Amino acid sequence: MGQTPSYLTSLKKESVVQSVINRLTEGMRRGELKPGDKIPTEPELAESLGVARSSIREAIKILTYLGVLESKRHEGTFVCSGFEESMIDPMVYGIILNQDSFEDLMELREMTEAGLMRLAIKNHDEGEIEELEDRLKDMEAVIASNDEETVRALFEADDKFHDKIAEMGKNPMADKINRVVRTLTYAVRYETVSSMVEKGKGKEFIEAHKALLNTIKKGDVANITDKVRDSYFETELMERRC
């Protein structure tokens, strides 16, 4: 047998879904997976990487949404050979294939979201403040429900909260960039929500988002970056990975 491709060696500590994404895109960078190639099946990937099939499935779902992979019924999942207009912008493919550093991606996320906060402060109207308050209430309701779907529901409610902030900025280009960045950080954001729910820290999660809301309401441009960073709960995430 030949040498095992680098993208099929066992994973270590980092976010499992993100790790799977990184391994598959690393295989593409190295030319081990080429446009048109069929990737291994979910069971094969799960066994080779030493992770659950659910993590493989989630990673494939994200890469399919990005337009990096495509699923063909009864045939399997393949590396895309090109892009169609219905897919997300091709620039995402370039970003994900040249993502050398997780820290670089998180810095981009921080810059984007802090910039959107400034735009929202500058351009919002009172009706939009009420809508953002409603989305925060939706998050609080999810936390209060505390059922088996809490993680998924809170993640979706959090997305709607941040999407509203982007809309309030009234800058379509900034909104588009925000959606790209949030797509690329899907795995780490989901892991953060999951960690906060599992540790019973839903209240802290809500308070961090309430601080963002109050910042916009008060028009307080000071320390915006710090408030955005506080909503990432990076310490909690690092503890989860250790």
Query: Measured between alpha carbons, how far is 233 from 189 in angstroms, rounded to an integer?
Result: 10
Query: 238: exposed, middle or buried (C-beta count within 10 Å: 0-12, 13-18, 19+)?
Result: exposed
Q: Around Cβ 219, how many Cβ atoms within 10 Å?
A: 10
Domain locations in the chain? 6-79, 101-241
CATH class of 101-241: mainly alpha
Cα angle: 52, vertex 56, 61; to 5 degrees: 145
User: With contact defined as beta carbons under 8 Å apart, do 51 and 11 qualify?
Assistant: yes
Mind listing the pLDDT tens digit for each residue in 174-220?
Answer: 988 888 888 878 888 988 999 999 999 999 999 999 999 999 999 98
Cα angle: 230, vertex 165, 133; to 5 degrees: 85
Instruction: Read off the pTM.
Output: 0.64
Mind listing the pLDDT tens digit for each residue in 109-127?
Answer: 999 999 999 999 999 998 9
pLDDT at 116: 97
Torsion, Cα 103 158 97 22, to 10 degrees, reads: 70
- CA nearest to 5, candidates 35, 32, 41: 32
What's the one-letter identity of residue 6?
S
The length of the chain is 242
For residue 2 the two structure tokens come to 């030949």
| Banded model confidence at residue 26, pLDDT cuts 50, 70, 90 | confident
- CA nearest to 141, candidates 194, 193, 202: 202
Of 65-79, 92-106, 149-163, minimum mean pLDDT range: 92-106
Mind listing the pLDDT tens digit for each residue in 30-51?
Answer: 888 888 999 999 999 999 999 9
User: With contact defined as beta carbons under 8 Å apart, do 66 and 95 qualify?
Assistant: no
Which ranges of 124-223 would DSSP assign to H, the alpha helix?
A: 126-145, 150-168, 172-184, 186-198, 202-218
CATH class of 6-79: mainly alpha
pLDDT at 242: 54
Query: Measured between alpha carbons, how far is 158 from 163 in angstroms, rounded to an integer?
Result: 9
